[in-house]
Chain A
Amino acid sequence: MGTPAAIARDRRILRSPAALWRAGAFGVVVLAGEGDPVTLTGTGRALWEALATPIGVDELAATLAAAHGAPLEQVRPDVEAAVARLEALGAVEAAR
């Protein structure tokens, strides 16, 4: 798998309404498009919940960093990668 495309940080994104998903203590199962479901674990559930309403990637990273007491510079690359993956699946889209 190649490196995910960079996400424009000033763009606001949110879950695609077409995404099918379930959340539990295991994390979040997300299905979009014709592929297989993916499971987001660890902070993935918090990330998915934060995407319920439009949010910028910087704000998303800051929110998760604060919630988990982790350094922003450590969280941001992980958030960008996760968002890129979800966008590629069609589970996340640009807010209108």
Chain B
Amino acid sequence: MSASAPSDALVVLARFGLPGAPEHATGPLDPPAWRELVAIVESERLGPLLAEAAAAGALILDENQREEAFAAQERAMRVCVLLERTLLATAELLDDAGISFRVLKGPAVARLDYPDPAWRAFGDVDLLVPSAAYDETLAVLGAAGARRRFAEVRPGFDRRFGKGATLVAPDGTQLDVHRSFAAGPFGIALAAAELFAATDRVEVGGRELPALGRELRFLHACYHAALGDAVARVVALRDVAQLLLATPLDLDRARSIARGWRGEAVVARAVCLAWERLALEPGPAVAWAASYRPDRFESRALLAYTGASRSYATQLAAGLRAVNGFPAKAAYVRALLLPSGDYVARHDGGYAHRLRRAWRARSTVRVAR
């Protein structure tokens, strides 16, 4: 049997266990190919799928490689249970403060949408809170010792327009507090209050915690996969495919919600990326996604996330068109042009540079229309 390429093995493990996914086995891998695969798996947090695919024989490995794969899953799972302990402690803090929240991403989808939580690794704790409780949430977590990693553009900006904040707990755990699914135009256009409309319960350590409803979980997976990184993370694309193919998701309902948020193009992009990256068989979802034509708002907004000038500053500048009403637009522009000293010191080094950068980014998006 000839040696397999790491890229082939990556596809096999990334789609392992998905209903309808091709099941032909791949392997063996020679040492350089194996090392390359392991490096990708570590950076993409795919250790659990590597181990599960190896254990099931979908990925043919030698004994040492199998042991290495199983050890990678063990390391990932040790992190996950520690993060779940942090999640429970954080949930208790928010409950005590009377703040409603939803568990997002890994800790929720691992238990609600995968065949076994050991299939899905995660590296931080993500929570969604209502805009109205955003500042109080940060104050509660700050009082418990968590520290914000990056300053917001201007006091009150995140609560009104932002995606959220990254905090670091005293034990070093990363805690992402979300108000929306994305920074920039798609995050601003999204109706954040609707995220609390449907709730599933996820059991963690004997406690039932609130999570987004299934269609909202799917939409969050799409926003994260399609907009979150310059190159979509494989685990995010797997979440999209997992929810679509392995759960009783109502795609029409999800699309309808996204349409109301002017974000159907985000769903289409995520589905196309997932099907392409995981080399999945054609089906109705990807047929719809491939034929979807973004409207004017969506086309312009997508550029801020997918264009060559992609950056947080570009997304902020592009977000202006999603802000409703003159007073809000004025506040948004003021924040971009006159950010707080902390933000400037950390990000830009000077107000003049900041101003030039914001407007240059906005101009870039305009030119690209």
B117 x A26 contact (CB < 8 A): no
Q: How far is the CB of A46 from chain B (nearest CB, A)?
A: 16
A24 x B73 contact (CB < 8 A): yes
Main secondary structure of the interface of B (DSSP, over half): helix
Q: Return chain A residues, CB-CB under 8 Å to B77.
A: 22, 24, 26, 29, 37
The residue from B66, B85, B117 contacting A22, defined by CB atoms under 8 A apart: B117
Q: Return chain A residues, CB-CB under 8 Å to B81.
A: 20-22, 29-31, 37
Give the CA-CA distance A29 to B85 in the complex, in Å: 13
B51 within 8 A of A: yes
B118 x A24 contact (CB < 8 A): yes
Give the CA-CA distance A16 to B55 in the complex, in Å: 28
With CB as the reference atom, state the residue of chain A lying closest to B77: A22
> A17-B205, A20-B204, A20-B205 are known contacts. Are A27 and B84 too (CB-CB below 8 A)?
no
B74 x A31 contact (CB < 8 A): no
A66 within 8 A of B: no
Give the CA-CA distance A42 to B121 in the complex, in Å: 23
Query: Which residues of A from 40 to 96 have beta carbons under 8 Å from B?
Result: none
The total of chain B residues at the interface (CB under 8 A) is: 23
Interface string of B71-108 (1 = CB under 8 A from A): 10110011011101100000000000000000000000
A31 x B82 contact (CB < 8 A): yes
Give the CA-CA distance A18 to B51 in the complex, in Å: 26
Q: Return chain A residues, CB-CB under 8 Å to B206.
A: 16-18
Q: How far is the CB of B199 from chain A (nearest CB, A)?
A: 21
B205 x A23 contact (CB < 8 A): no
Q: Which of A17, A20, A31 has the largest number of chain B CB atoms within 10 A?
A: A20
The residue from A22, A26, A30 contacting B80, defined by CB atoms under 8 A apart: A22
The residue from A18, A19, A20, A25 contacting B73, defined by CB atoms under 8 A apart: A25
Q: Which of B52, B82, B204 has the largest number of chain A CB atoms within 10 A?
A: B82
User: Residues of B at under 8 Å CB distance from A?
Assistant: 48, 51-52, 54-55, 66, 70-71, 73-74, 77-78, 80-82, 84-85, 116-118, 204-206
Q: Which 10 A-B pairs have the closest CB atoms?
A: A17-B206, A22-B77, A26-B74, A31-B81, A26-B70, A20-B81, A25-B55, A22-B118, A29-B77, A37-B78
User: Residues of A at under 8 Å CB distance from B?
Assistant: 16-27, 29-31, 37, 39
